[in-house]
Structure 1
Amino acid sequence: MATESPPQRSYRAACPNCGAPVDFRSPASAFAVCSFCKSTIVREGDALRRIGQSAELFDDHSPLQLGAGGTHQGAAFTLVGRLQYRYRDGTWNEWHALFDNGRSAWLSEDNGRYVMAFDAPLTQAPPRAESLQPGQQLVVEGQPYAVGSVTAARLIAAQGELPFAPHTERAFVVADLRSARGEVGTLDYSDAQAPKWSIGRSVAISELAMTGLADSAEKTLSARGIECPSCGASLEVKLATTQSIVCHQCHAVVDVSQGIGADLAHFAQDNGMEPQIPLGRIGTLTLTAKRPLPWQVVGYVERCDIPDSDEDEQTFWREYLLYHRTEGFAFLVDADDGWSWTAPITGTPQKAGDGMKHEGVTYRKLYDYTGQVTYVLGEFYWRLARHERTFNTDYIGTGNASKKRLNRERTGSGDTQEIVWSAGETLSADEVIAAFKLAPEQRAAMQRDAAPTTMQMSRLMKVAIIVFIVIVLLLMFRCSSGGGAADCSELRNTYGEASTEYRTCLANQRSGSRTGGGSYGGFSTGGGHK
């Protein structure tokens, strides 16, 4: 836990506008925002002068708050300030962390997790903001980086003690760069004449041993209520980072990224399938933290790929958005070729021939594809757009790491573009069933990757006979009628759209196409520091 700063480093004076006390914990801090009247205060020696006023903070129900403390690399810190930014898809926070040794840092939101970053000097002129593009390779301060995202943003509000004056009247570009060393570098062009540069690494709240978090983060997910703008049903937004929520009654997708008010953007969607793992269900899995933790299903997505030609097979898959209070978010993916989990990574893998290398593992490339959202349920920490497309590449681990998976996803256009890398591993259907305590009768519908030794012989023989009959019938249908989606409708009605029988039928209607596209991907997660 962060300890109180020594008295000689602290300074308190009355706000020149309202008289409320304004604290400065660090002698390096020259600016603060009065917590009572929101006046922006500049410190000049022992006197304070009002230079403006900050807007009200957008209430995003963040678990972090001023006064919360923790430990990073053996040093204690306290959150003393906050900057809140808005971009096209919502808002994000950067918290000013003051360490007991006097050093400052920024604890920023990043892809459902956090980054602890420290300001660093720029000894060479950085690239011009307008020249940056996601995926671009460049060198900053002698180190190689890949551009992860380029975002047009605006500072909308400030709070507490800050190392510089907050200016909320102009828009600027912020670019996140990611390295093979697991670092995220940020170029902040809020001052076009003197861009700011910071370098950080991914952290989890659990790793920081945070104390003094907001009450909503200490308890089970608490909710804030809104009314569905489509049907009027009462909706409860439970996650602090929610940008989109789907109405449980009419299934309209409601955009809450710009705040909860009377006029909420929304769009209707066609009905999809019921998730095999119910929303709200908690399962114990070993994912990002490398130890068993309870993960809650908070969102459900159905996606498909866009075939390059009419002869290519179109594949479908489903993703469950999982949440843990201190670890952040992860995805559970249900695809034709099996189950897997994946989560965004802070850095970027290294190129290795036609493949990639990440954390000592070499991955070979599987395929490229374009994905599209077809149906969603629940809550999401990014803004969902109708028929939004993503451009993906899947990789598989080589040698003894064949269970490992890697995915590159590019999203966005115009002034907000991004590339997100995700990493994870395969899971068996039995692991998923056990983790979420699903009914035994669901096993047949969820099984994608069972080996013969996992079945009893009698059941294996039954399945083999059924598959053999299906293949023979399909060959007959293809010879007589050329095949088509309608040929499989009876299997779909009998066994379900997610069944092995129906998927086998579809797969055998076409030849020469890949299977399992999107198995290891994840949704775009909103960009660096967002």
Structure 2
Amino acid sequence: MATEQSPQRGYRAACPNCGAPVEFRSAASAFAVCSFCRSSIVRDGEALRRIGQSAELFDDHSPLQLGAAGRHQGAAFVLVGRLQYRYAEGTWNEWHALFDNGRSGWLSEDNGRYVFSFDAALNGEAPAAETLRAGQTLRVAGMAWSVASVSAAKLIAAQGELPFKPNLERGFVVADLRNPRGEVATLDYGDPLAPKWSVGQSVAISELAMTGLAESSEKTLKARGVECPSCGTALEVKLSTTQSIVCHNCHAVVDVSQGVGGDLQHYAQANGSEPLIQLGSTGTLALALKPGDKKALPWQVVGYAERCEVDTGDDEQTFWREYLLYHRTEGFAFLVDAQDGWSWTAPITGVPERAGDGVKYQGVVYRKLYDYTGMATYVLGEFYWKLERDARTYNTDYIGTGAFSARRINRERTGSEDAQEIVWSAGETLAADAVLKAFKLAPDKKASFQRDALPTSGNAASLLGKAFFWVFVIVVLLMLFRCDDDRRDCSQVRATFGEASAEYQNCLRSAGSSGGRVGGGSWGGWSSGGGHK
């Protein structure tokens, strides 16, 4: 019978397998999955025909659900279908959004945020899947794109109303591409002879004015229970996007990217430093995740990582800390505590334009600072990407020029030769006092937070001064952090950072041990979520 929940003329009939009602809101939809028995159903005129069965959805406690509604680009939509995919790093969802005007779109996951995309025509032939490589530039549909990732994927489950028959039988190649206009595109090689092409832009749930979200979108998330496979401690996976969690008792890293049932892969890690900002803390920060949209919001610390530079040859190592921040409608961002000060950063949807040895992004020219290889040595909390032992990240840092010297951009490459991914992130520096104030930390913590004692101007004199200063600091930090250091003299660390600093306290702890801290493995970079995953 017809329904009148939207301007479209709908259709509802009984499932031919179980008799439950199956609804088609759009006259253009020819396929659906019965919500009761998971039968895949094709509509042929006024009749429904069962053509197979979908697997059960992996329950990831996404805040999105069928029936949730919102507005995008001034038009109302409702989520009527869902596709769930699996790839090497875990699972991701693509939600079929039906607009009041009959147009279909896809709301899908992207580096802890979302992309709203629409199917588009390919003007010309698509490149062969086997020719695509991360970092490659090419023209598709008459525009220049940069390949962000190429992955092997498989549709594992479907739900609700769909514009095409779900292919649950075989895997396929999917490539994510990005451009300087802030757009992300997908080449879906499910049909190698006729690849699907879609183009979209990054959105936050807060921008979509959504209603009918699942309970897990609220501040107090319904947790998934899992037992630590190392020590048996009960763990709660609180975030819908979590792919890895660290046991709060034994500090084992547990992989939950393939679900929380059955055997869970894990590995041990050695103890690291105590975070300066405790997990679970909430701070009010004004982060400009989009141009001109700098609003103060509460951000919660959900993850913590200690990282260092590796493969330095004869050069000295550098070290830094990263705090993974979460906001329930804005997604994720990172607070970085490095030797040259505090900053925040977040993955971006597009890619900057090349500008000589530097890049140009949103009208600002950034000059290249340096290339380096990074490695995480200790982690705590939850993460929206899969943490892997002994993984490296290959990075290039850029700094804004002129009046924009506080801005930063990073290019990070992860993965092996056959499965690489490139993610760009952008942010800007923060004063240590701003971090202290945001998280309402006691004044006696100030000494351990100070990193930005030098001016941030880019003139030659200040740069020379910085160079001499940081040569001294690096020598001191090597005494503190180097992975294969023996006993240390902490007097220089105390003189530089103060008696209350985490650096000095950690040096005292390490000096009392026989061999210092030995890293317990390394993990992929913080921005390795990638594409629609």
Q: TM-score range by the shorter chain?
A: 0.7 to 0.9
Residue number in structure 1 paired with 2:435: 432
Return the TM-score normalized by structure 1: 0.88
Question: Cα offset for 1:387?
Answer: 2.2
The one-character-per-residue Cα deviations of 1:122-181 (angstroms, maximum 9, x if unpaired) are 131110111100100000111000001111110000000000101112111100000001
Which secondary structure state, in structure 2, belongs to the residue aligned with residue 443 of structure 1? helix
The one-character-per-residue Cα deviations of 1:80-125 (angstroms, maximum 9, x if unpaired) are 0000000011000000000000000000000000000000011311
CA distance in 1, matches of 2:55, 2:506: 56
CA distance in 1, matches of 2:394, 2:373: 5
Question: Cα offset for 1:221?
Answer: 2.6
CA distance in 2, matches of 1:34, 1:129: 33
Question: Cα offset for 1:383?
Answer: 0.4
Would you say 1:347 and 2:376 are equivalent positions? no
Residue number in structure 2 paired with 1:295: 299
Alignment RMSD: 2.3
Would you say 1:407 and 2:410 are equivalent positions? yes
Query: Unpaired runs of 5+ in structure 2?
Result: 456-467, 480-484, 508-523
Pair 1:261–1:415, CA change in 2 (3 A): farther
Residue number in structure 1 paired with 2:510: none
CA distance in 2, matches of 1:65, 1:59: 11
The one-character-per-residue Cα deviations of 1:492-516 (angstroms, maximum 9, x if unpaired) are 588478549999xxxxxxxxxxxxx
- Does the 8 A contact of 1:374 with 1:387 survive in 2? no
Residue number in structure 1 paired with 2:370: 367
Residue number in structure 2 paired with 1:517: none
The one-character-per-residue Cα deviations of 1:345-383 (angstroms, maximum 9, x if unpaired) are 000000011100000110000000000010000000000
The one-character-per-residue Cα deviations of 1:28-75 (angstroms, maximum 9, x if unpaired) are 111000000000000111111100000000000000000000000100
The one-character-per-residue Cα deviations of 1:280-312 (angstroms, maximum 9, x if unpaired) are 000000112510000000000000111431x21
Structure 2 counterpart of 1:68, which letter? Answer: A
The one-character-per-residue Cα deviations of 1:206-226 (angstroms, maximum 9, x if unpaired) are 000111000111342331211
The one-character-per-residue Cα deviations of 1:455-512 (angstroms, maximum 9, x if unpaired) are xxxxxxxxxxxx99x97xx99xx9xxxxx87564444588478549999xxxxxxxxx
Residue number in structure 1 paired with 2:94: 94
1:298-447 alignment runs, 5 A limit: 298-309=302-313, 311-413=314-416, 415-447=418-450
CA distance in 2, matches of 1:20, 1:57: 19
Which secondary structure state, in structure 2, belongs to the residue aligned with residue 207 of structure 1? helix
Residue number in structure 1 paired with 2:6: 5
Residue number in structure 2 paired with 1:192: 192
Deviates more, 1:368-377 or 1:283-292: 283-292
1:38-437 alignment runs, 5 A limit: 38-287=38-287, 288=289, 289-309=293-313, 311-413=314-416, 415-437=418-440
CA distance in 2, matches of 1:307, 1:338: 23
- Does the 8 A contact of 1:342 with 1:424 survive in 2? yes
Q: 1:527 aligns with which of 516, 525, 530?
A: 530
CA distance in 2, matches of 1:406, 1:501: 32
Question: Cα offset for 1:415?
Answer: 4.7
CA distance in 2, matches of 1:321, 1:423: 15
Residue number in structure 2 paired with 1:512: none
Return the TM-score normalized by structure 2: 0.87
CA distance in 2, matches of 1:415, 1:22: 42
Structure 2 counterpart of 1:298, which letter? Answer: V
Which secondary structure state, in structure 2, belongs to the residue aligned with residue 118 of structure 1? strand
Structure 2 counterpart of 1:290, which letter? Answer: K
CA distance in 2, matches of 1:356, 1:92: 31
Which secondary structure state, in structure 1, belongs to the residue aligned with residue 446 of structure 2? helix
CA distance in 1, matches of 2:433, 2:315: 31
CA distance in 2, matches of 1:498, 1:394: 26
Question: Cα offset for 1:435?
Answer: 0.2
Which secondary structure state, in structure 1, belongs to the residue aligned with residue 261 of structure 2? coil
The one-character-per-residue Cα deviations of 1:382-438 (angstroms, maximum 9, x if unpaired) are 000012210000000000000000000000125532100000000010000000011
- Does the 8 A contact of 2:80 with 2:161 survive in 1? yes
Pair 1:522–1:264, CA change in 2 (3 A): closer
Pair 1:488–1:337, CA change in 2 (3 A): farther
Query: Unpaired runs of 5+ in structure 1?
Result: 453-466, 479-483, 504-520
CA distance in 2, matches of 1:211, 1:491: 57
- Does the 8 A contact of 1:307 with 1:313 survive in 2? no
How many residue pairs get aligned? The number is 485
Structure 2 counterpart of 1:357, which letter? Answer: K
- Does the 8 A contact of 2:70 with 2:76 survive in 1? yes
Pair 1:451–1:414, CA change in 2 (3 A): closer
CA distance in 2, matches of 1:180, 1:168: 34
- Does the 8 A contact of 2:215 with 2:221 survive in 1? no
- Does the 8 A contact of 1:24 with 1:32 survive in 2? yes
Structure 2 counterpart of 1:5, which letter? Answer: S
Q: Which runs of 4+ in 1 moved over 6 A?
A: 500-503
Would you say 1:15 and 2:15 are equivalent positions? yes
* Percent sequence identity over aligned pairs: 72
Question: Cα offset for 1:440?
Answer: 1.1
